[in-house]
Each structure stands twice: as C-alpha cells, then as structure tokens.
Amino acid sequence: MNWFLLRSETAEASRNMAMDEALLESAPRLGRTVLRFYSWQGTPASFGFAQKYAEVERLTALRPLIRRPTGGGLVSHASDWTYSLVFPTADAWYSLRAAESYRRLHEWIQNAWGRLGVPTCLAPAACKETPGCCFSGPEKFDLLFDGRKIAGAAQRRSRKGLLIQGSLQGQPPGVAESDWQQALCHAANDAWGVRWEPFEPDAPLNDHAERLDRTKYSRPEYNAKR
C-alpha cells in the first residue's frame, strides 16, 4: 500500500478547492491514494456544493465564501487544520458506502489523537444545533473531544475516484499541527501497512488546478450560482 503524501503551501481558497478537484480528476492517471495537508490565506469559509449561497451568506461574516466540490455544510477556515484524501477507483476505500467511509475515516483520526494522548470518541448519532453549519453539532460518526465536535468531513464520489475533504476545529491544547499530521501517517501505516511517498504535483496537475481556479472557483458567479 503505497500512498502519496502532499504537503501544500498556504493558498487562497479558490486554489485549494481547485487543487482538490484536480486531484480527483487526475486519480486514474496518478493511480494511488493521495493524502494532502493544506492551509488557507486569510479567513475564508467553504460551503457544500448543494448549499444556497444566500443562506450561507447570512450564517457567517467570513470572506471569501467558496463552494466546495464536496457536500456538507458551512465550514470556517479561520483557524482549522485541513486535509483532503483522493482514492482511485481501484482502492478498496472507493467501494465503501458513504457512512462506512465516514466511520473509517474518523476511526483513523481517532487513532491518531490516541497516539498523542488525547481521548476522543465517535458521535453515536446526529445532534445539529444550526442547520447548514458543519460544526454546530455532530453528525453520526463525527469525532468528539470533551463532548464537542472537533472533526468533520464531506465526500464526493465520481467515476474517477473518491474525494474526501476534512477539517479539524477546536483542537485539544498543547498539540502542534505537525505532530497530528505525523500521528495520522503513522496510524495509517500500522492499520493498513501504508507506506508514504512524498508527492509534488506535476505540470499537468498544476495546469489543471490553475484552469479550475481561473474558470470556476475564483468566479463569483460560480460560487453564488444557486
């Protein structure tokens, strides 16, 4: 099990979403699962592909607002830790039902926190306080720390692969983001025998991401299209 590990530089919101979609579109060519860690310029918020822009606009003062290629609700990126996963169709994860994929993902993250001495648990059921806001309460199988949600994710499955976009918020104090990233990689190695190979986007992938950024995610008419 050789997976790619991509550590992206801090980027604008539109570029981050463009790169995630470009990775999904490139999954057949890359042929391996990709774990990507990234961060955001400024204080943006992202929202699910099917959400209505006018409703999201009323829920937060953060800007810019960027439409994700995945589902889910509104997510602040002012201080979170973000990652994405792209699985090609040949990976067994691609064949999982959405709920099982979600559960497996957060069990993996729970394992990583356990390695850092932080006890967490999976939410047994949904308990939303504000509809449309991802971190206003847990969905089933979200990750909880001290009774509150600290990890959520959204998925998109296509004929080319599976994209998962995840966010961690309200992280336990005293843990560096780099330590959590390392723990996540070690947990995958122990659980599934994953061997990590550093990855840098090649010219076709970068060109695809740049094109998606320019023609889609940076365009106000796209983000406000519904």
Residues marked active site are found at 134
d(CA 167, CA 154): 9
d(CA 148, CA 136): 9
β-strand partners of 8: none
β-strand partners of 155: 164
d(CA 204, CA 207): 5
